[in-house]
Structure formats: C-alpha cells, structure tokens
Structure 1
Amino acid sequence: MKAFIKAISYYLPEKVVTNEDLEKDFPEWNAEKVSAKTGIFQRHISASEETATDMAVIAANKVFAEYNIDRKQIDYILFCTQSPDYKLPTSACLIQKRLNLSSNIGALDFNLGCSGYIYGLSLAKGLICSGIAKNILLLTAETYNKYIHPTDKGNRSLFGDGAAASLISTDGFAEIGDFVLGTDGNGANNLIVKTGCARNPQKMNDMGKDDGGYMQSSDYLYMNGSEIFNFTLEAVPTLLNQLFEKTQLSKEDIDYYIFHQANKFMLNTIRKVCVLPKEKFYINLVNTGNTVSSTLPIALKDAMESNHCIQAGMKVVITGFGVGYSWGGCILFF
C-alpha cells in the first residue's frame, strides 16, 4: 500500500502586521533591514478570540470545497499544534464535531512545531500502509503570537499565525516516500514556553535577557536564536545525507527542495552549507512569516499552483526542523 498527498489548502488570519507596523512599535528598527534579513515583509496574526482549532476548521472546510472532497470519506484526523484550545479534551475531537465528520473515525493531537508536518506525513503514511485508515485529514495550526511578549521585537518579526489542511490518501498527486527523523531533547530550553502546564503552572513574572541579549521570560515564548541557528546548521546537512543514503539517491536526482520556512537568512545559509543550487531551492515567506508547522504545506501549495515550481514527474525533498529539538525529512514523488 502506498500513501499520497491528495489535497492541500491553507488559511491565514485577516489581521496583517507589516514591517512598517513593527517599526512604529520599535523606532530603533528599520523596516527595510528587517525585510532584507528575514525575507518577511508581513505576517498574519490571529484575532484575540481566534484559536488554532478555529483556523484548522477553516482550512479543513477550504480543502473540502477546493477539491470537492466528501467529508464522509475522512476516517482519521491528525492535528499538529502547540496551541490547543484546552489542556483537555483533545482538540482533534472538537474538530471532528465542528466539521460534522463521522464518529467512526480516529482523531488525535500531536505536539510538535516546525517539524510537525513531516511527522504528520509519517504518521499518516503509517496509518495507510497498515490498513488502519484510507483518507486522513492532516491539520497543522499555530498561534505562536499569543505566546510572544509585545516588546519581543525579534520573535514578533519572525512568526506569523496560520493553518493548513492536507488530505493523505491511497492516491493523489505526490507519493510520500522514505523518511529520516531525529530528536534531541538537550535543546529543549532553547525554544520554550516554561509556564502554564504541569511543570510550572503559575506565571513567574521573570522578564529579562539572556547572555546573548535575547528577551527571556518563562511566561512567554523564548528562543535562543544563535543556538537554534547552530542546531539547524548541524542537523539539516546530516539529515540530507541520511535521506540520500536511505533512498539511494543523490543531490543531482532531486528536482526541488522545500525546507521549513524559518527566515531568509537561515535558509540561504543552509542552502550554501548543503551546496544546493539556488534555482532548486524554495523561499516563500514574504507575506506569511514563519507559520511553524504550516510553512511546508503552505509552501508546497504555492510552489505547485501560484509559482509553478513543482510539476508532475519531479522528486522533491521537504524538511522540517526546530523546537524540541526535532527534525525530519522525506522525499515526495510528483
């Protein structure tokens, strides 16, 4: 049994924050310099009452409408988010009800960030190849901006909110090939929100800066940018080598590369370190920013339909990497 991506749609919240808007909040910043370094000109921000579940439902309804999908065919929901509506119940159960899907389906959340789409594809493929499900609704949605302190100019410039819906099935436009996955919990503290769950249920009110000058608070999203950057430069080249070894393919066999859309500077550095040709390497975060687990499905959708970079017959490598530390990659056969 083979597994395929059969459909992709995505949703971006209505509110838009441009670099010029950020410049008003941080006069010491220059909007053009932010754009040049990050590759991001604007990002979409979820409304105050809008949750990741809300956005996932909208994305799901879009994929049903755009591809004329009969929702009665869905027999499993996989929902990747680090922004659940509640500690319990499972958000995927709420989504099942809101989408009016059959009660004879499986539904679960999994908590991963920028590698989440890769892991979701691996789970979906496993469900299909084992005969457990045939039509899996893979949803990714994140509202990181609800975790970012208003004065944290670094993270506010990078992260956007968004959601994507993919149908993984027994047929489709892209066969899902082999995977390489990785985990290193030693890096957990370099991208973290420490309070609000069982380990630290109460706020700590400990706003400050780390040794590198990055804003640090246990109550908000903290990212040690330099450590994340170093981790990425070590993990991704190794990941690619392992993927090529596993599949018996080489760089020259790959027609296109789509990596997690973190920021332009990081992506260009990774490309150079991995010695990948610029014309085969996708960067598409101008109007979205880093939407965490949704960057890959958004990029795939746009690369196929808006920019026509991916066509039938191509082999495409996709990779995700970030919080956890967690990373993964696979090859898609279009």
Structure 2
Amino acid sequence: MNLKFQNKKITGILTVLPENEVNFDDEIDNYDFSRAQSMKLKLIMGYGKRRVVKKGTAVSDLCIFGMNYLFDNGFLKKEDVDAIILVTQSPDHFVPATSHIIQGKLDLKQDMICLDINQACSGYPIGLNQAFMLLNQEEVNKVVVLNADMMSLKVSAKDRGSRPLTGDAASITIVEKDSADSVIYGTVNVDGKGADSLIIPAGGFKIPSTPETAKLRTDKGGNSRSLDHLVMKGDDVFNFVQKEVPPMIKNLLAKANRDKNEIDYYMFHQPNKFMLKKLADKMGVSYDKMPNNVVENFGNSSGVSVPTNITYNLGEQLLTNSFLICLAGFGAGLSWASLLLEMGNLNFCNTIDYNN
C-alpha cells in the first residue's frame, strides 16, 4: 500500500541504550561451533558488541528514562504531548497497554491519545505512519513515537544464529505539523503466510508458557532453544528481504518521482552486516549511503535499529543540515515498510545510556 503525507515533520530523535555491554568473544564458547568458524562468522555477520538490559528492566523504564531526559534538558514539555505511540513486541504486561503505564508514570495530561502497536522490525516506519495520521486531527500538534524492544530476554543462550546479534534499545521521535509545504511518501506491506519465519511459539494465549515449553531442544543446526524462545528461519528471512525490499524501494521512489542516486542516505533496519551489504549490492547503492555498522556496535534491536542508525551515523549532522532520507524496516510478520522524507535541522539527535 502506498501512502502520502503532507505538512508533517520529525523534529527530534533520541536513542536510549542499556549500559550493559556484551562482547561476542566472551560468549563464543556457548555455541556448538568451532572457534575458527565463529570468528569467520563474526567478520561476515558483524558479530561484535551488543547492548542488553539487566534483569528487571522493562520497556517502560527505557522510555521513561528517555522522556525525562528530554523534559529535563528543555527539548520537550509535558503539556505539549498530545499523543504517545509505543511500538514494541516486548510489552511490560499483557494488560494494560504499556503506553498507558508510561503516560501515568510521567504524569502527563489526561486529554491525550495513547496507543500500543505490536510490530517488530518494520515498526519504526509503521509507528511514524500512525503519528502522521494523528497529526491530521485539529487538536493533535505533537506526537511522541516510542520504539522499544528487549528481545535479548527471549533468545536462547545456545542459539548461535540469533543470540550474537540480538540487542535491546529504545528510541523517542518527536513528530509535529510542518508549516512548510512538505511531502512524505510511504509504503506498507505484509505477508502473514510467513509468520512462522520469525516467531516465539509459546508464551501467549494460544500456547501458554509451562515447564514443558521451557525445555531446550537442539535442532539439526546445533541450536538449542525452547518454545519460549525466539525462532528465526534465517534462510527464509534472508530470501524474503532480498526479494521484497528492492522492489518496495523502487516503487517508493517512483511514487515520489525520485532517482535512487538523489537519496542522501538509506537508513535501513540492520539485522546483520551480511544482509545489508547484499541488499545494497542488489539495489546498486553504495555502502556509504546505506550504513551497516549498528549490529557490530550495539546489536540488532529490532525496529529500533533504524533510529539508532540515524542517531549514531548522522547525529550532529542533522542538527544543522538536511538530507533526503529513505527509511525501511523489514522482518517479523512478515512485514516490510518504508518512508521517504526530508529530515534535518532537528532540535536534538543523539544517543544516551540508560543508567538506573
């Protein structure tokens, strides 16, 4: 589906990273793989450092910490927040919505909208889409898009495919009405037939967690997981990304009447370095325009890898410059979504550490 928004803009992006850093080299003996094979994979896939939460930390904690940072530093006023959109697959509870918990703990006004959106890898552009739509309302002038996930808690310590890549993070993006005649183009796609390509089988209402679902089982690839853990069919996900993302971006650019070389940066979700390089090659885009350095420094934090990509690689530049940026997320669902927008002259664009 093609989308188009007018007179909307992003005015600030903040990424919140857990202080707890894990190095792949320190976990290398957890995996049923020779050290030589592991080090080869480290180079190809981008295994390196990743940020993970400490036990007891919740998504609301990361978001509240970031929001208070913005309030304390004068980047945001409580009374100006008209809506909160939280995109996560790591809610604090089944009930109530985590956005409600955040609103209450921050003591924000009652005259506002709070929404939780259950999306993963494509969640950042999908959350922005919802924010743009809310801004069409007369009384909605400023929307806070929170994107946060803590999937490290749902990945088996013996899963060499997902564990070395999985990180945690939260982001806060402020979206407002734009007095300039700006246009934002977007796309959203979904294929639920591939839902089991990235799935946590147990823990919901369909298959509640029990001692039986917690038992580890070893697959033919040597990965040991339980039904309570994230299961990823790596080949299926890789093929899906290579097949669906390039035509999505081609269609997006055609709708905007833009050539791929006009785009300053392709700030994409970063599952791993290998996949991003292959995607850039297929699209004919230089690695300089499509950074792939987030996973090796922070890990794959699902949809939050997109704003992390922006604050890490473009942070200070976006305070004084403006760029034509293509955003894209793709993965669990299966879903894939993108946005093309002018971004720049932001009030803030930085990364902070969560410490509590």
Give TM class, smaller chain: over 0.9
Alignment match of 2:282 (pick from 267, 273, 282):
273
- 2:86 match: 79
- 1:28 match: 34
SS in structure 2 of the partner of residue 296 of structure 1 = helix
Per-residue Cα deviation, 1:135-179 (whole angstroms, up to 9, x for no partner): 111101111011112211221111101111111112499x67110
Gaps of 5+ in 1: none
Superposed, 1:107-186 pairs within 5 Å as 107-131=114-138, 133-171=140-178, 177-186=184-193
Relative to 1, partners in 2 of residues 1:274 and 1:76: Cα closer, same or farther, differing over 3 Å?
Answer: same
Query: Contact 1:8/1:63 (CA < 8 Å) preserved in 2?
Result: no
TM-score (norm. length: structure 1): 0.92
- 1:11 match: 16
Query: Contact 1:128/1:169 (CA < 8 Å) preserved in 2?
Result: yes
Greater shift after overlay, 100-109 or 273-282?
A: 273-282
TM-score (norm. length: structure 2): 0.87
Per-residue Cα deviation, 1:155-207 (whole angstroms, up to 9, x for no partner): 1111101111111112499x671101100001101100111111111333464
- 1:325 match: 334
Take 1:121 and 1:188, find their aligned partners in 2: how far apart are those partners? Answer: 23
Take 2:227 and 2:63, find their aligned partners in 1: how far apart are those partners? Answer: 27
- 1:293 match: 303
Gaps of 5+ in 2: 1-5, 344-356
How big is the alpha-carbon RMSD for the aligned residues of Structure 1 and Structure 2? 2.2
Question: Is 1:197 aligned to 2:207, yes or no?
Answer: no
Aligned amino acid, residue 4 of structure 1: K
- 1:44 match: 51
Query: Contact 1:63/1:165 (CA < 8 Å) preserved in 2?
Result: no
Per-residue Cα deviation, 1:205-257 (whole angstroms, up to 9, x for no partner): 46435566655532211001111001000110111111012111111221211
SS in structure 1 of the partner of residue 341 of structure 2 = strand
Relative to 1, partners in 2 of residues 1:11 and 1:193: Cα closer, same or farther, differing over 3 Å?
Answer: same
Alignment match of 2:315 (pick from 305, 308, 311):
305
Query: Contact 1:304/1:311 (CA < 8 Å) preserved in 2?
Result: no
Question: Is 1:233 aligned to 2:242, yes or no?
Answer: yes
Relative to 1, partners in 2 of residues 1:234 and 1:89: Cα closer, same or farther, differing over 3 Å?
Answer: same
Superposed, 1:253-264 pairs within 5 Å as 253-264=262-273
Take 2:106 and 2:183, find their aligned partners in 1: how far apart are those partners? Answer: 26
Alignment match of 1:56 (pick from 59, 63, 69):
63
Deviation at 1:129, TM superposition (A): 2.4
Aligned amino acid, residue 295 of structure 1: S
SS in structure 1 of the partner of residue 297 of structure 2 = coil
Per-residue Cα deviation, 1:21-78 (whole angstroms, up to 9, x for no partner): 1124347335643431222410011111001121121122233345521121001000
Aligned amino acid, residue 151 of structure 2: Y
Take 2:255 and 2:218, find their aligned partners in 1: how far apart are those partners? Answer: 42
Query: Contact 1:188/1:324 (CA < 8 Å) preserved in 2?
Result: yes
Relative to 1, partners in 2 of residues 1:91 and 1:324: Cα closer, same or farther, differing over 3 Å?
Answer: same
Take 2:179 and 2:73, find their aligned partners in 1: how far apart are those partners? Answer: 15
Take 1:65 and 1:3, find their aligned partners in 2: how far apart are those partners? Answer: 26
Per-residue Cα deviation, 1:266-323 (whole angstroms, up to 9, x for no partner): 00000001111223222231221101121111111122225x4897342111100000
Aligned amino acid, residue 123 of structure 2: G
What count of residue pairs does the alignment treat as equivalent?
332
SS in structure 1 of the partner of residue 293 of structure 2 = coil
Identity among equivalent pairs (%): 29
Query: Contact 1:259/1:318 (CA < 8 Å) preserved in 2?
Result: yes
Take 1:154 and 1:197, find their aligned partners in 2: how far apart are those partners? Answer: 23
Superposed, 1:84-99 pairs within 5 Å as 84-99=91-106
Alignment match of 1:283 (pick from 265, 289, 292):
292
SS in structure 2 of the partner of residue 287 of structure 1 = helix
Relative to 1, partners in 2 of residues 1:188 and 1:88: Cα closer, same or farther, differing over 3 Å?
Answer: same
SS in structure 2 of the partner of residue 314 of structure 1 = strand
Query: Contact 1:304/1:310 (CA < 8 Å) preserved in 2?
Result: no
Query: Contact 1:10/1:62 (CA < 8 Å) preserved in 2?
Result: no
- 1:220 match: 229
SS in structure 2 of the partner of residue 195 of structure 1 = coil
Where in structure 1 do 4 or more consecutive aligned residues deviate above 6 Å? none
- 1:242 match: 251
